[in-house]
Amino acid sequence: GKTAFGQWLAREMDAPHLGYKASDLLSRWIGKSEQNIAQAFAKARKQKAVLQFDEVDSFLQDRQKAQRQWEITQVNELLVQMEAYDGVFIASTNLFRDLDEACLRRFDAVMKFNFLTPAAAWGMFVKTCEKLQIADIHSAHEGRLRQLVQLTPGDFAQVERRARLFPLEGAEQVLRALEVAVAIKKTGPSRPVGFLAAA
């Protein structure tokens, strides 16, 4: 949902969306991660793109807890780039509390994405079944779906991906796959999906 939000915002602004995961930016070589971060901002500046870093907690960790010098320089580089960037930058994370305090002052807005509402979950369930060419949906499925209070868009995307390997033959199997996805989550219903954004 966080990446989809960034893509939606870019479309609304009629701008390109330039997204990076932590694995795209982090390097085992000293100084290379900082170079990758700087290059990402330079590319976004040139394209006038909406720049989005996912899993930003991987390189915006609290510097007071840093054990190595390069952990500090990564944070410093990102803070410098954020300060100088005049476009839209989105940093998303599920671990908001792990972020460096200084970075929080550089964000103009903080958004929290909670789990899907029952109505939104049902809408995604219907769309997922349509994509999988499954038509045997009935009201009992909606009732059971309401019991799954930790559903996210990612859960539905996971079901669609798995269906490529293990085809689902009916709405009941789609629902069971979602029930399994929720059952294996470590977070409780009180812990929302975090999202941090800045412009």
d(CA 27, CA 33): 5
Q: Which two tokens stand for residue 101?
A: 């305090």
Determine the pLDDT at residue 43: 96
Backbone angles phi, psi at 9, to 5 degrees: -60, -40
pLDDT at 16 over 50: yes
What tens digit of pLDDT does each residue of 68-115 get?
554 566 777 888 888 888 899 998 876 666 666 767 777 777 777 778
Q: What is the mean pLDDT of residues 48-64?
A: 76
d(CA 126, CA 103): 40
Higher local confidence (pLDDT), 183 or 72: 183
The closest alpha carbon to 95, from 193, 24, 187, belongs to: 193
Mean pLDDT over the full length of the chain: 80
d(CA 145, CA 42): 44
Question: What is the band of 126 on the pLDDT scale with cuts at 50, 70, 90?
Answer: very high
Q: What is the mean pLDDT of residues 105-131?
A: 84
Three-state secondary structure call for residue 49: coil
| pTM > 0.75 | no
Determine the pLDDT at residue 198: 43
Side-chain half-sphere of 167: how many Cα atoms within 13 Å?
A: 4
The closest alpha carbon to 8, from 24, 20, 19, belongs to: 19
Determine the pLDDT at residue 192: 43
Determine the pLDDT at residue 99: 66
What tens digit of pLDDT does each residue of 22-45 get?
888 877 787 788 898 899 999 999
| Residues constituting the chain | 199
Determine the pLDDT at residue 153: 86
